[in-house]
Amino acid sequence: MDYFLMAVILVICFLLGVVILVQNPKGGGLATGFQGASQFGGVQKTADFLVKATWYLTGALFVLCIVAGVFFGNANDDVGVDESVLPETTLPMTAPVTE
């Protein structure tokens, strides 16, 4: 299950990177290749698809990262300090008397 979850997160990260890189911050990007079809609304639909894909992939990545944190966070029941590796400390029972 853990390898599958990590693989899905990596695929979503890759797809999210591709979708973001295809977009152009000035409104062009992939939509500029379809300028001839602008009379049919092809440019607007492509831009809407890229924006929706970005939001859906981001939401899926957020949810899967939280699921992975819960799933992997509870994998180790032994939480705390291993006291066998700590040095022995001895404190005097009474303070030395100095006169």
**Which uninterrupted H or E stretch holds 68?**
helix 42-73
Confidence band of 93 (pLDDT split at 50, 70, 90): low
Q: For all residues of the chain together, what is the average pLDDT?
A: 76
Q: Is 33 a member of any domain?
A: no
pLDDT tens per residue, range 37-69: 444 545 567 778 888 999 999 999 999 999 998
Q: Which residues contact 87 (CB under 8 A, 6 or more apart)?
A: none
Q: What share of the chain is helix, strand, coil (3-state, %, to 5)?
A: 70, 0, 30
What is the reported pTM?
A: 0.58
CA 18 to chain centre: 16
- The count of domains in the chain is 1
In a domain, 63, yes or no: yes
Domain that holds residue 68: 1-18+44-72
